[in-house]
Structure 1
Amino acid sequence: MRRRVLVLVGATTSLVLIAFLVPLALLLRTVAADRAVQGATVEAQAVSSLVATGDRAALALSVAQVDATSAYDVTLFLADGTRLGAAAERSPLVELGARGTSASAVVPGGREIVFAVRDPSGTGGVIRAFVPDAELTRGVTRAWLLLAALGIGLLLVSLAVADRMARSLVRSTIDLAAVSHRLARGELDARADPQATGELGVVAGALNTLAARISELLREERETVADLAHRVRTPLTALRLDAESLSDPRDAARIGAGVDGVQRAVTSAIDQARRRGAEPGGERVVSDAAATVSDRIAFWSVLAEDTERETAVDIAPGPLPVALGRADLEACVDALLGNVFAHTPDGTAFAVRLTPREGGGATLTVADAGPGLPAGATAALRRGVSGAGSTGLGLDIARRSAEQAGGTLRLEPAERAGLRVVVELGPPGTAP
């Protein structure tokens, strides 16, 4: 933008200077030529007054003196063929003057001026003044150089002023872009300068309004989540009491574990709502993927046994640190295994594998022998999209967890049938 402003101002100023200085330069050359011709005319007319005296010796001396002191060649041609002053040939213009006509013409090397004169006897004569090109253009080169320097100076001044203005515009634009990037990183207290130049100030004010509105919406979301979590805790406490009152200890333990899982999910939702919009660069979130996945497999294995599902588990020995909190990793594993139980019939086998990732982190793979996804159903990775009547949040939770850990999620067909979900989890320090 700054370069474009400078180019525009430079081009405009150059056109204006050319339109002004070129005619002025031509005028100066014309004025210099006219001045030289006028000077020669005055000197020639001074000689013409001496012709009328009739004193040949005094006339010869006067013409010689004028020619010696003048910047022009002055010659007097008398009717008897005598030539006084500077040596010169009788040109056609001189012959025209001998017939009584005064004139001037451009000749090679300069300009020739002739005047017809009469001596006391009435005999005609011709005064010739020759103005060389050097006299016709005297001072023109210097004047042109001064005009060129003036034009360059004006151009530099205009570029300096334009650069100052462009810097102000570019600085405001860069500051505006920096504020937008800070807002994108979650720094919701970032604000642009509404006093910026022109329309940039209007955009800055609109951006500040948008940032304030986003902060307000996030605050309302946090309050809503906290209120919802508070309301859910009461029925959870009742469920816990009901579970403890069961006569079968195994049922009581199983239902109590489920209530604990829901309690953790609610607590995690509250923590995430509180962390949202926090300043970047805070404490890095790290968890051990091996321990977390092992705990969640142990939880789901009870339901797998009840639904007669064959389970294959391959978890690399830990620790396997990843750039994801334990609660978020648990939610990711629960979402993937929950999809298996929700979208495959009872008795469908599944496998869970956790391996170290090259360069750090871990790779979590959940595969099942179910019907898999329909052809072209890649939209299932988008939030709220599902082809099986569910809310469509399971794979989206897993995808966002992978991205939060600096990794990715991809869907692949299983070796024999079903679906395989591969979640790449980056090492600590790689999270965006």
Structure 2
Amino acid sequence: MRRWLAWLVAATTSLVLIALLVPMALLIRAVAENGAMSRATAAAESVAVAVGTPDLALAVEQVARPVTVFLPDGGTVGAAAPRSDAVRLAATGRSVTARAAGGREVLVSAQSPGGTAVIRVFVPDAELMRGVPETWAALLVLGLALVVLGIVLADRLALAVTRPVDGLARVSHRLAGGDLTARAEPGGPPEVRSVALALNHLADRIDELLAAERESVADLSHRLRTPLTGLRLDAESLRDPEEAARLQARADALERAVSTVITEARHRSAGRGSCDAAGVVRERVRFWSVLAEDQGREVSVSLPDGPLPVPVGAEELAACVDALLGNVFAHTPEGVSMAVRLEPRPAGALLSVSDTGPGFEAALLERGISGGDSTGLGLDIARRTAESSGGSLSVSTPPAGRGAHVEVLLGGP
């Protein structure tokens, strides 16, 4: 916008200056020519007074320019000059001006005792244009200075408009990225200030809606836990052990589904945060190590020595790690070893969990593949966590050809 406005002002100013300075330049040239011709005419008239007197030669010498007097008898006084058609026309009693080689000639007729004499005063082109080039140069410099001044003023004006607009764009990108504390600083023209106030009002409204959503999630958690507890108690009171176990499994599955929905809703309400991935992974591995020790599982852990910040909230990352480790405990026999590795990446970290169990193909054949984007192995939480941070999730088989290997890239590449 700044460049376009500068070009617009430059074009407009140039057109205005051309319309003004070109006629002025022509007028200056005409004034200079008229002045030179007027001085030449005055010199010719001063010599015409002495025609027919003995002082004619003296009068011609006193004029500081080439003067020629054509006498009626064919003789001349003063500078040598050809008797042109204009001279013969002036000899009829008419005073004329005509173009000559290298300038102009002013011809004034004067009556003498022997007839009509013609006084010729030559005006060179240099005198006709005296001071004109300098004046034209001054006008050109003035025009360029005005164009540059207009461009500078236009750039300042455009900057006063574009700077607040750029600020609005940055704030909108921060809001889109999850930074709900971003606010615009009203400035610039009234219209831009109005947009900034509207954007701030929108951000406040988003905060209100998210707060309402958090309250709704808390209420939903409270409302659903009570009937689930009652359903679990009813299942335990059944006399048929198989039926009780089946209902208990259904209640557990329903509770996990409800917990997942509530957790995801809380994560959306809380917005995108950040945490120390090394600390979170270390704490969750320590939590699951107790169960791994009971099942005789060997756990290999490789974590960075120092903090490793990632663009994911601590609770969200903890849920992701729990999903990955819980997947190993749920779908591999007791005694199967596993490895947890966390490596830094330019914009985040790479979390990998691998085991030496039956692998994904056996697990999928056992459980089936769920619909939509689900993996069917409880990895949806990990996938959504990776994608929310700009990363990705990948599953593969280790080079040994047995087991499963899950990589979660946290943050963009």
Q: TM (normalized to structure 1)?
A: 0.70
**Structure 1 residue 170, shift from structure 2 partner:** 1.9
Offset at residue 37 of structure 1 (A): 1.3
5 Å matches for 1:31-430?
A: 31-51=31-51, 54-55=52-53, 57-65=54-62, 67-68=63-64, 72-85=65-78, 87-92=79-84, 93-98=86-91, 100-121=93-114, 123-194=115-186, 196-197=188-189, 199-234=191-226, 269=263, 272=266, 276-277=270-271, 284=276, 286-289=278-281, 292-293=284-285, 295-296=287-288, 315-316=300-301, 323=309, 327-336=315-324, 352-357=338-343, 362-365=351-354, 368-370=359-361, 388-389=370-371, 392=374, 394-402=378-386, 408-412=392-396, 421-424=406-409
Cα offsets for 1:320-369 (capped at 9, x unmatched): 77656775344224545777899x9x99x998432353677642246834
In structure 2, what is the Cα distance between the partners aligned to 1:318 and 1:144?
Answer: 79
Say which SS state the counterpart of residue 174 (structure 2) adopts.
helix
User: What is the CA-CA distance between 1:405 and the residue it aligns to?
Assistant: 7.3
- Tell me if the contact between 2:308 and 2:344 (Cα under 8 Å) persists in the aligned partners: no
Q: 1:296 to 1:76 in 2, by over 3 A?
A: same
Structure 1: unaligned runs, 5 residues or longer: 306-310, 375-385
State whether residues 98 and 106 of structure 2, in contact with CA within 8 Å, keep that contact through their aligned partners in structure 1: yes
Q: How far apart in 1 are the matches of 2:303 and 2:167?
A: 46
- Supply the AA of the counterpart residue of 2:170: A
8 Å Cα contact 2:184-2:200 kept in structure 1 = yes
- State the secondary structure of the residue aligned to 1:192: coil
Deviations 1:18-45 (A, max 9, x none): 2221221122112211221122123223
Q: Is the 8 A contact 1:372 1:418 kept in 2?
A: no
Give the Cα separation in 2 of the matches to 1:161 and 1:317.
61
| Residues 101 and 116, structure 1, Cα contact 8 Å, conserved in 2 | yes
- Compute the displacement of 1:153 (Å): 3.4
1:208 alignment partner, SS class: helix
**In the alignment, is the contact (CA less than 8 A) between 2:303 and 2:343 conserved in 1?**
no
Q: Measure, in 1, the Cα distance between the counterparts of 2:391 and 2:123.
A: 90
**Are the equivalent residues in 1 in contact too, given 2:221–2:262 (CA < 8 A)?**
no
Q: Tell me if the contact between 1:116 and 1:124 (Cα under 8 Å) persists in the aligned partners.
A: yes
Q: From the superposition, tell whether residues 390 and 19 of structure 1 become closer, same or farther in structure 2 (CA, over 3 Å).
A: closer
* 1:431, distance to aligned residue in structure 2 (A): 9.6
Distance 2:341 2:403 in 1: 21
Secondary structure of 2:49's match? Answer: helix
Deviation sequence 1:362-401 (CA, Å, 0-9, x none): 4224683426889xxxxxxxxxxx9624784954421243
1:290 deviates by 5.2
Amino acid at match of 1:328: E
Match of 1:84, SS state, is strand
Provide the rounded CA distance (Å) in 2 between the counterparts of 1:332 and 1:27: 85
How far has the Cα of 1:133 moved from its partner? Answer: 1.3
Alpha-carbon shift at residue 147 of structure 1 (Å): 1.6
Q: Are the counterparts in 2 of residues 335 and 398 from structure 1 also a CA contact under 8 Å? A: yes
Alpha-carbon distance in 1 for matches of 2:57, 2:361: 130
Partner-residue secondary structure (3-state), 1:169 = helix
Taking the aligned partners of 2:213 and 2:353, their CA distance within structure 1 comes to: 31
Q: Deviations over 1:229-261 (max 9, x none)?
A: 233444576689899999x9xx9xx99xx89x9
Gaps of 5+ in 2: none
1:144 CA displacement: 1.5
Aligned-CA RMSD value:
4.8
Sort the Cα spacing of 1:120 and 1:322 in 2 relative to 1 into closer, same or farther, 3 A.
Answer: closer
Q: 1:297 to 1:191 in 2, by over 3 A?
A: same
Instruction: Report if aligned partners of 1:9, 1:158 keep a CA contact under 8 Å in 2.
Output: yes
Change beyond 3 A, Cα 1:406–1:274 = closer
Cα distance in 1, alignment partners of residues 108 and 313 from structure 2:
110
Amino acid at match of 2:406: V
1:308 aligns with: none
Superposed displacement of residue 172, structure 1: 1.2
Give aligned pairs, total: 389
Deviations 1:284-311 (A, max 9, x none): 5653535524644765999xx9xxxxx9
> Residues 330 and 89 of structure 1: is their aligned pair in 2 closer, same or farther, counting only changes over 3 Å?
closer
Opposite residue 319 of structure 2, the aligned amino acid is A
Name the amino acid aligned to 2:352.
Answer: T
